[in-house]
A and B are shown apart, each in its own frame.
Chain A
């Protein structure tokens, strides 16, 4: 699976957009970009995923650059409850029947009042 690079930590003001970058310069054509987050003392939570087009759901938007070497997760109106560790994960579209996720260190997002 391709390696990802994320900033260790970021701050965001409550109510503002939080933009979390991820670099995946070695991504191959058959790999998705996934985002998960882990709120303190909870299990990881799926946020969004994409292949090459930008994606949006009720939680967030995912912007993938045209060359697919980087992406940005956008939380449009961050709240205190969005304080968490955010993980960017790259994995093949099809990896047999394993489906395993390889987590990196992630970005600790602190939303401040």
Chain B
């Protein structure tokens, strides 16, 4: 069983399009995250949801809109895609309330904007 899954694994699209990436965790965790890894391989947090409430928004353009329909799902919708959005997007989850903060990451979604 995959703990944190993402779909799709690869996404190739043109500038200006709107696309979504989905994430699901079956670990029963209360917090989910989106990270972006750019071409220089730096991993940076974008958003975090705790019990479906947005708690971190790291100065990400408002073209990016996360949505958490329930604790097990965190989706990322991107409007008007730009070349600079090309990156690998990782979803992660953790159980924050236990003070452990061990995060489990998904396999990533490689987004290519042409």
Could you tell me which A residues sit within 8 Å of B by CB distance? 32, 34, 36, 38, 41-46, 49, 85, 87, 91, 93-103, 105
Q: How far is the CB of A7 from chain B (nearest CB, A)?
A: 16
| Given contact pairs A42-B108, A45-B105, A46-B102, A98 touches B44 in the complex (Cβ within 8 A) | no
- Residues of A close to B92: CB separation below 8 A: 43-44
Q: A104 CA to B106 CA in the complex, in Å?
A: 19
What does the 1/0 interface line of B48-66 toward A look like (CB < 8 Å)?
Answer: 1010000110000000000
Q: Does B27 contact A (CB under 8 A)?
A: no
B107 A98 Cβ-Cβ under 8 A: no
Query: Across the A-B interface, how many residue pairs have beta carbons closer than 8 Å?
Result: 62
20 new A-B contacts, CB < 8 A, other than A43-B4, A44-B105, A46-B102, are: A42-B107, A42-B108, A43-B106, A44-B43, A87-B43, A94-B99, A95-B101, A97-B31, A97-B55, A97-B96, A97-B97, A98-B96, A99-B48, A99-B94, A99-B101, A100-B56, A101-B45, A102-B45, A105-B41, A105-B42
Question: CB-CB < 8 A to A95: which residues of B?
Answer: 101
Main secondary structure of the interface of B (DSSP, over half): strand
A85 CA to B43 CA in the complex, in Å? 12
